[in-house]
Structure 1
């Protein structure tokens, strides 16, 4: 492993923080923490921690010796000074002298020692950092170290390779670990660091660079030892032909792990992330992959992201997905039964006080296709996939020397059902559309973007389709989603775009079929080409995308919502607007047909009929033309409704949300026009 230390970057970053009023030691600690956190082979998504001992003035100006340690919820790769809460050091060190201390009491007492009560909870290993008499303490869960410790003879292997280091058998993080480490350190105060079996490594020094370089040297030593073993313990997976692709099977997996919702017809879905590399394919194709996936986690905290183990699945053959899906559901049922038994026996050991988490697997290892990781959000699924990849790397390293051996299930249960983690989970409040994936056509601006923003605010993952792919990508980036350039009048392009969405998120739950254009002209004067173009986009484009999305929804088997942006022109046509009005009337009929044909699939199909909305479609020029056609001013035209109010894109978005969230409405239309008697539906 290469050192990333840069004196120039160090000085520049630290100087900038100090100029902004940050304590210099904290500024240094922030930079060095990021240096470790940006390497996924060292820490992943909140794992690991660092600390620095320094002096900070209290609220009354009194200098106080403190420990600044990584706070709960902060990622080392993006940490800021606020992520290193300061605790009174003397009192924190003294906490190790308690004979016993529960996790909840430890957290409570540590919070009392914070200089700033608004700070995040300090790391559960804060006491351990405090009792080590060094200014800088670094802790990572390096893959290479864990690959060596997670073997039947892991402790002996570590002791032989690191004779100068303190070696600690596994103890769950927290107060007890601090006491064990203090006793061991007092016996070896000259040690340059400490390795925790099946957990990770600590290095330390008063000099931040020495502590960092010691970490890099130790990891390099582990990597070199792994390189002496078999680099391909799983063999090389053959290239399999005739397989279904990831975009086809992701919706099947996603539907198979959907949870019952609070209301009938509203399941709690997962978002899915797909990964494929040669290393992943080799692992998924290993003869003993089922055994490997059931041995446990690389490090104990991984159980929070991917549960105790994943699920190995056979290669899915194209044309045989129905049978493959049935096999998947059988295996998931067996997984649920196994997880329930695991919870029952370990909860009894814990006194029967725990509440079972959902029993669905989080990672699937599919032969020939790759890894699929599930989470309640795209971010959570991405974290799960990162952890799964790290797990494969650790297992490969261990198997190349001897065999991978994780912690016993009791230890993993204690971490998965740790009271501190249970508290975190209870604080998570999901938004109404969290876990759902929404596709919005014409999403780069105007009404489409307004509806996408409303959906994202409700928690949905967003995919924007637009003829302008660059604008779609730009808008989607702001929403944390994806943007895809797509000509909706090209059926093959639409199918490919929806497959891309399924590959990225695992499927689709919501379609806002919004894209359209307004061709004007009297029926006797408009060209046949313009008339056909109006129908190509305003009718066929909607059908192509709805058809592709419904096929994905059927594969998931969890229902869904179609929402079409029609127009009041469908029921109240205006003069010289024939191509637009007639194509939109056809679109309303299409919406109703989807409602009729797919209600049995649990899919709702509804529409909004907006009128006179300032968007990229309805430009100032068009407003002037339509106002002139009706013999009024543009201002009067835009407020020409019963309420005398101009209708906005945000108004339409709220109506769309109401229909998307409606459980028992299908074939319905909400007119959003401020009140137009002629456009009122009967």
Structure 2
């Protein structure tokens, strides 16, 4: 095989200047190479694959030189790998474990013995792939899951294709679950095929290597590029891709409309055991597959690569709906979909019962992770947004694999027993048990109006910190952009979505909830926080002042709640509506006729909604702040001047004035209101509705009772 120098199907990202600065530090070069590989999802997915290097270090006990292997630790991701994410092990000790190895049926016990081989006491826990790298002699090794290579590895005659494509320079090892014995199989393959540049693992992935980080990197790219070019050359030779298209996709706008309409219903079904977060994609690769004639044949087969399977489950659920189906009758839609979900859960339970071992962990959530809607797109649901998004990425990779395998041969998936043994592997279960306990709002979705600043922003941040996904919004585009930058830097892209929202505009309100459905699957918590303040004597109060106060505060609260309740009813998971009102809803004061009466209307509207929505399991509660000045937009208007004039103080004296008039003599901050909101939705007050919680430092006149 000729060496590939012009890359079309992979990204060549190596920078000689960057690498030169790391010269002499093989571990730093390992991390550099790993990050480059992980930056291209065509090479490996998030958390997938593994990389390593071997160095000569001084033994801290003897002072003698010893060989050490540095490898990505358990649960890491090569794209974001740092030195702290590596495990460092004595190579000789690792290889000496062969002396106590008792065979495949006992190989799980070897993982605990890896700890006796640790050189670097700051190591991450070594992964199951450790012996796969340890028994190969090369200085730098990549184990990747590229779609192009797995397509060949998952083909019915993949071994023959590999031999012909690479002319014997790439070895082959049949499918075997990762572990100690697979490491021995790789060593045996190399011994039987000296001089090869890599090894293909049946249904699994690719091993490549080099004497330097750069040689290893280029070797990996060249092999993957060759696989991808081979697939490209063969597309269409056997006939239409996936048997041709059975249906046409809806147009992009219609796809979004249908997806937004159905996502909360799907989320409700998928959340029968715990709240799930969702993800939607109508990527062209997904549409090509789900619209095809071969969908019904290939989808039930499931995936081949273990990394794909672990995140996507045994198979997807395919919806029997036309792309232009009328989704407006929610009850009728649920009646149509319910049998499909019941059948999926039954299938999964039978799969578990037929494959389980005496020591298998208990059956897990039997709902689908991947849901395919022909003509519209793919939905994925999992414990949080990142996991749902990654599941979608992995299933897209599985589609790529099926497409490639079908183009050159015939796609084969993991046998069900092998798939079960991966999914319910005791080592995987132990990894799950070590994961941190879910945060109180994990899997919950919140929409907080007016959340680009002040109280709303503090609430949104608090909810994200407690595990929720949040739709932030504002009617000020510049303010929203600033907030997006802030949230992205602190929480990352999976924690929030952002949308312009005017709470007096029903079209924009619908668009905001559609964004919640498309980004996360629906909504569980609605916080009505958007507001403004106008303080004037009655003779100066204009009709325009009155209308905008009631439009934003009262009508806005009503309209946002109305739409939020519609989504919550689709999910049938209950929910929370929190209304940020004010001490002024209860306390009479001068120069406050419009604002104070609008706040009183908000408060009673909350009571009315609580009385009506209890039957749906939707709680409606109120937080009454007072004098929250920090980062509040209302102080940009004439409100501060008006209140200062009413109380006979200067604007600068207002914070101290407000604090001194309270029983606790405390200045109220946005974070205080956020904490009160969390108290309502954090799980300890699930049986409380129609309540008012004052957060005002103690204003006796505002006591409810």
Fold match (TM-score > 0.5): yes
Provide TM-score, normalisation by structure 1: 0.93
2:503 paired residue number: 488
Question: Which residue in the other structure is 2:73 paired with?
Answer: 71
CA contact (8 A) 1:298 1:395 kept: no
The equivalent residue for 1:196 is: 201
Aligned positions of 1:384-399 closer than 5 A:
384-399=391-406
1:177 to 165, 182, 204: 182
Partner-residue secondary structure (3-state), 1:39? coil
Between the aligned partners of 2:402 and 2:396, the Cα distance in structure 1 is 10
* Cα shift at 1:380: 0.5
CA distance in 1, matches of 2:602, 2:243: 54
2:465 is the alignment partner of 1:426? no
Aligned mates of 1:97, 1:10 — CA distance in 2: 43
Q: Compared with structure 1, are the counterparts of its residues 152 and 340 closer, same or farther at alpha carbon in structure 2 (3 Å cutoff)?
A: same
Per the alignment, do residues 46 and 14 of structure 1 end up closer, same or farther by CA in structure 2, a change over 3 Å counting? farther
1:630 equivalent in alignment to 2:647: yes
| Cα pair 2:43 2:144 within 8 Å, conserved | yes
Say whether the 8 Å CA contact 1:290–1:311 is kept in structure 2: no
User: For structure 1, which segment, 101-110 or 431-440, has the greater mean C-alpha deviation from structure 2 after superposition?
Assistant: 101-110
Show structure 1 runs of 5+ residues with no match: 261-267
Deviation for aligned residue 1:562: 0.3
Q: Do 2:581 and 2:602's aligned partners in 1 also have CA atoms closer than 8 Å? A: yes
Measured in 2, the distance between the counterparts of 1:291 and 1:285 equals 13
What pairs up with 1:137-148 in 2 under 5 angstroms?
Answer: 137-148=141-152
Greater mean alpha carbon deviation, residues 158-167 or residues 431-440: 158-167
| Distance 1:460-1:88 versus aligned 2 partners, 3 A rule | same
Q: 1:288 aligns with which of 283, 294, 312?
A: 294
Task: Say if 2:242 and 2:294, in contact at 8 Å, map to a contact too.
Answer: no
- The equivalent residue for 2:4 is none
CA separation in 1, counterparts of 2:511 and 2:455? 24
2:668 is matched with which residue? 647
Q: Is the 8 A contact 2:249 2:374 kept in 1?
A: no
Q: Give the secondary-structure state (helix, strand or coil) at the position aligned to 2:272.
A: coil
User: For residue 418 of structure 2, what is the aligned residue in structure 1?
Assistant: 411
2:538, 2:591 within 8 Å by CA — same for their partners in 1? yes
Task: Give the conservation status (yes or no) of the 8 Å contact 1:14–1:27.
Answer: no
Distance 1:560 1:333 in 2: 24
Cα deviation for residue 631 of structure 1 reads 4.1
CA gap of 1:222–1:617, structure 2 versus 1, over 3 A, is closer
Counterpart secondary structure, 2:241: coil
> How far off its partner does 1:353 sit?
3.5
Deviations 1:42-71 (A, max 9, x none): 211111111111023444665432001111
SS of 1:85's equivalent in the other structure is strand
Q: Match for residue 666 of structure 1?
A: 689
| C-alpha deviation, 1:300, in angstroms | 1.4
The whole-number CA distance in structure 2 between the counterparts of 1:579 and 1:124 is: 66
Deviations 1:351-405 (A, max 9, x none): 2442211111100110111011111111111101101111111111122233321
Deviates more, 1:540-549 or 1:100-109: 100-109
What TM-score do the two structures reach when normalised by structure 2?
Answer: 0.90
For the residues of structure 1 that align with 2:371 and 2:88, how far apart are their CA atoms?
Answer: 41
Equivalent residue, structure 2, for 1:304: 310
Distance 1:579 1:58 in 2: 77
Tell me the equivalent position of 1:619: 635
Correspondent of 1:378 among 385, 388, 394: 385
Structure 2 match to 1:263: none
Mapped to 1, the partners of 2:698 and 2:101 lie a distance apart of 73
What is the root-mean-square deviation of aligned Cα atoms in Å? 2.1
Is contact 2:11-2:40 (8 Å) kept?
A: no
Paired residues for 1:277-676 under 5 Å: 277-316=283-322, 317-318=325-326, 319=328, 321-347=330-356, 350-428=357-435, 429-468=437-476, 469-477=480-488, 478-479=490-491, 480-615=495-630, 616-617=632-633, 619=635, 622-623=639-640, 625-631=642-648, 634=654, 635-661=656-682, 662-676=685-699
Q: Does the aligned pair in 2 maintain the 1:270–1:436 contact within 8 Å?
A: yes
The size of the alignment, in residue pairs, is 667
CA contact (8 A) 1:246 1:503 kept: yes
For residue 143 of structure 2, give the secondary structure of its aligned residue in structure 1: strand
Is the CA contact (8 Å cut-off) linking 1:448 and 1:515 kept in structure 2? Answer: yes
